[in-house]
Amino acid sequence: MKLVEVTSKEHIREFLNLPVRLYRNEPHWIRPLDKDIESVFDREHNKTFRHGECIRWILVNEKNETIGRVAAFINNKTVHKANDQPTGGMGFFECINDQKAAFFMFDACKTWLQERKMEAMDGPINFGSRDRWWGLLIEGFDRDPNYQCNYNFPYYQNFFEAYGFQVYFYQLTFWRTIQGPLSPRLHEKAEIMAKDPDYEFRHITKAEIEKLPEYLLEVYNKAWAKRGDNPELTLAQAKLIVKQMKPIMDIRLLYFGFYKGTPVSFFLSLPEINQIFKHLNGKLDFIGKLKFLWHQFRKTNRKAFGILFGVVPEHQGRGCDGAMVLASRKVLQDEYKRYDEYEMNWIGDFNPRMINVVEQVGADVCKRHATYRKLFDETKPFKRSHIFH
């Protein structure tokens, strides 16, 4: 076996096509868009390169057949953040069912990171944002992966744990049908909020789409920024997020709470786009775009996906969460029966407050991913991720 650094178009093709060969008989695997994978390793598209570095390899056997792939990286903004030791990352791991091959790639990542003064590595993670390609799937192999979420073979867990990776935190994906009852506690919260005329809870209107970046910025920076690894959003970043959402946006999935006209909470969802991308075979070329438009027109996707939920601190504990959920229930269950099921973006087990909210919605865990950490000096005590309070 030998590792080959990905430097040519041929290497890139092997890096992208290995999972296609490995998962060809897996009914729930959905091929990611090639452009989405490649954008991670593109200095022009991935701003993490401004404060980090990355390498990726393919692993070939004696017959020069690709049998594995992996990437290692350092994000200097997170190397020391909430860590007792400088910590790098690895990800985009795929491998045949061969522990020797897996360990060969893990060793390469470890060596590359040690050469850069790292003392631990997290994996499998993304070279960039946590909302993409983060964590190893360990439960939920019977369900389709959501857009830019990892799906992998069950035997990968054995590789990671046998090598000495330990669970840093679990990532929980919750699911429920659109129809069905909600917790009485949510109804109680909504009734309390209904008595205060200063509050309003609803989805945005078409006329407000241009204001959406400002709404997003107002709530996000107060509710989520500076918690964990979440940086503040700029208005330019918020505008870009909305621009990226627009092709698939459904205003009946975008709920805000307003206090005297100012947004103070959000409950934001999108149509789960992997339910369309699974028909494109990884290619958003001319034919792929035609297929995309066809499925959009036919409304073949019946699944919604929650991306953000938050309440600014001074309005927490008043019932905004229940009021937003009940506002969405009225529309999605009674008036606009466009979707059959709903999944939430993953929630770390370090966030019990958010887990409690989702459980009140009546959702159950349908997938579990694990973010692992490997300490290079195994005599040091291992610590799990701190809990949000």
pLDDT higher than threshold 80 for residue 199 = yes
pLDDT higher than threshold 60 for residue 228 = no
What single DSSP character describes residue 319? T
- The domain 2-171+370-375 having CATH identifier 3.40.630.30: the answer here is yes
Predicted local confidence at residue 290, as pLDDT: 92
Encode pLDDT of 298-317 as tens digits: 889 999 999 989 899 999 88
How many Å apart are CA 321 and CA 356, to the nearest integer? 11
Of the candidates 138, 163, 167, the residue with the CA atom closest to the CA atom of residue 151? 138
**Topology of domain 179-339, CATH:** Aminopeptidase (3.40.630)
Residue spans of the domains in the chain: they are 2-171+370-375, 179-339
pLDDT higher than threshold 80 for residue 230 = no
- Which whole number is the average pLDDT over 29-54? 96
Identify the band that residue 225 occupies on the pLDDT scale cut at 50, 70 and 90: low
- Which whole number is the average pLDDT over 3-26? 97
Q: How far from chain centre, in Å, is Cα 270?
A: 13
Encode pLDDT of 247-270 as tens digits: 899 999 999 999 999 999 999 999
Of the candidates 347, 345, 351, 338, the residue with the CA atom closest to the CA atom of residue 386? 351
Encode pLDDT of 264-280 as tens digits: 999 999 999 999 999 99
How many Å apart are CA 254 and CA 193, to the nearest integer? 19
| 2-171+370-375 against 179-339: fold identical | yes
- Which whole number is the average pLDDT over 358-386? 94
How many Å apart are CA 257 and CA 315, to the nearest integer? 10
Q: How many CB atoms lie within 10 A of CB 188?
A: 12
How many Å apart are CA 136 and CA 183, to the nearest integer? 31
Predicted local confidence at residue 186, as pLDDT: 85
Encode pLDDT of 62-72 as tens digits: 999 999 999 99
Q: What is the CA angle 335-340-343, rounded to 5?
A: 115
Encode pLDDT of 102-155 as tens digits: 999 999 999 999 999 999 999 999 999 998 999 999 999 999 999 999 999 999
Count Cα neighbours of 58 within 13 Å in the Cβ-side half-sphere.
20
How many Å apart are CA 245 and CA 50, to the nearest integer? 25
